[in-house]
Chain A
Amino acid sequence: MIKRMLIMLTLLLTAAIFARLVLNYGEHQELGKLGAHYASQGPAELGAPNLVTAVVVTYRGLDTLGEVTVLFISAAGVGVMLRRRKQVPDDNEARKPSSEIVVTAAQLLLPMIFLFGIYVFVNGHLSPGGGFQGGAIIAAGSLLLLLALPQAEMRHRLISITESLSGFSYVVVGLLGVILAGGFLDNRIMSLGTYGSLFSAGAIPIIYTLIGLKVGSELSAVLDRFRQSD
């Protein structure tokens, strides 16, 4: 009884926090100062048409490095908790093979899914998308692979090498910004190029490619852990 009342009280207090926000809500008519600065100066300063990418990769690049670190730690945590155990040898034989439709579709679609993931993170500075989205698409491709071929062994060596190398290069690119440009993770270590073309916006495509590879391999490794732990 007391527990139920406490739960209701918690919900009411949470609602009260947001009630003022909802009741007094008036849609913004113009951008705030920070948003206006990014919108007016961003394209000229960084050469990236997609302002969200400019904010994520360069203006708040340090936060993104932290975000990648959090993702790495959670992947490592999943790895520690779901450590592979040596026994359960009979488990794999008992498993039913996947249906033919899934297997055929996986063979047909996998290259396209991976290619689409790469497309999304390479074009992150031009269009909606970026490293995290592209990495998630690649991980979705790995999930399809795991569904189609449950017996398939992922190449853990390759995955962990990709992951560590891209994480390391990300920090190196950030440090190059300190030496060659204005500060840590500054994208102007290379020429900004033609505005709106694929090879433009300085280091942003490089950083997003590295993030995409890192996120894709990390999430694939997490999915593989979940599969092996049943």
Chain B
Amino acid sequence: MTGLPLSLFALATGLALILIGLFGMLTRKNIIRMIIGFSLMDTGVHLVMVAIGYVTGGTAPIIDDAVPAAEAVARVVDPVPSALVLTAIVIGLGVTAVMLAFAIRLYQAKKTLSIDACSESKW
């Protein structure tokens, strides 16, 4: 045992994914790669949120024979961040679908996936 809690690693991985995704979105020119960057960042945020909801030694918040109701408060992880992440995953999916539709439209209009083709809309 190093003394470092396990959820710290999930938190640090989430942070690394957020930074990698942001870097990808800012530096890539290919719109598909930008969408991949967005997905990475999305996943990183989910990891950070789930890691924050972890309680030392906690188990899944399902109250049945394995976790009797009387001990529930002491033994389960926080259900609220899990519920938030469930919502966030679905919203992320919807946003990704719309971005991919934009990518298809871009390709149909300009015959390339590079955003340099859209320089007239640059400020």
Shortest distance from the beta carbon of A46 to any chain B beta carbon, whole Å = 11
Query: 8 other contacts beyond A7-B23, A42-B63, with CB at 8 A cut-off?
Result: A7-B27, A27-B54, A28-B54, A35-B53, A39-B79, A71-B94, A77-B98, A81-B98
Shortest distance from the beta carbon of B38 to any chain A beta carbon, whole Å = 14
A67 CA / B90 CA spacing, docked (Å): 7
Which residues of A125-160 have CB atoms within 8 Å of chain B's CB atoms? 126-128, 130, 132
Shortest distance from the beta carbon of A69 to any chain B beta carbon, whole Å = 10
Query: Closest residue of chain A to B15, judged by CB?
Result: A18
Query: Closest residue of chain A to B100, judged by CB?
Result: A226
Q: Does B97 contact A74, Cβ atoms closer than 8 Å?
A: yes
Which among A21, A75, A128 is the interface contact of B94 at CB below 8 angstroms? A75
Q: Does B5 contact A27, Cβ atoms closer than 8 Å?
A: yes
Q: Report if A78-B101 is in contact (Cβ < 8 Å); known contacts: A40-B72, A42-B63.
A: yes
Which residues of A25-84 have CB atoms within 8 Å of chain B's CB atoms? 25-32, 34-36, 38-40, 42-44, 49-52, 54-56, 60, 63-64, 67, 70-71, 73-75, 77-78, 81-82
Q: Does B86 contact A29, Cβ atoms closer than 8 Å?
A: no
A223 CA / B83 CA spacing, docked (Å): 26
Interface size class of A (residues with CB under 8 A): 35 or more
Q: Does B62 contact A25, Cβ atoms closer than 8 Å?
A: no
Q: Does A43 contact B101, Cβ atoms closer than 8 Å?
A: no
Q: Report if A39-B73 is in contact (Cβ < 8 Å); known contacts: A27-B55, A28-B55, A32-B78.
A: yes
Set of chain B residues within 8 Å of A194, measured between Cβ atoms = none
Q: Does A222 contact B97, Cβ atoms closer than 8 Å?
A: yes
A133 CA / B55 CA spacing, docked (Å): 24
Taking Cβ atoms with an 8 Å cutoff, the residues of A that contact B are 7, 10-11, 14-15, 18, 21-22, 25-32, 34-36, 38-40, 42-44, 49-52, 54-56, 60, 63-64, 67, 70-71, 73-75, 77-78, 81-82, 126-128, 130, 132, 196, 215, 222, 225-226, 229-230
Q: Report if A22-B12 is in contact (Cβ < 8 Å); known contacts: A51-B62, A51-B79.
A: yes
Shortest distance from the beta carbon of B87 to any chain A beta carbon, whole Å = 5
Q: B36 at interface (Cβ–Cβ under 8 A)?
A: no
Which among B26, B82, B83, B102 is the interface contact of A10 at CB below 8 angstroms? B26
Shortest distance from the beta carbon of A54 to any chain B beta carbon, whole Å = 7
Query: Closest residue of chain A to B95, judged by CB?
Result: A74
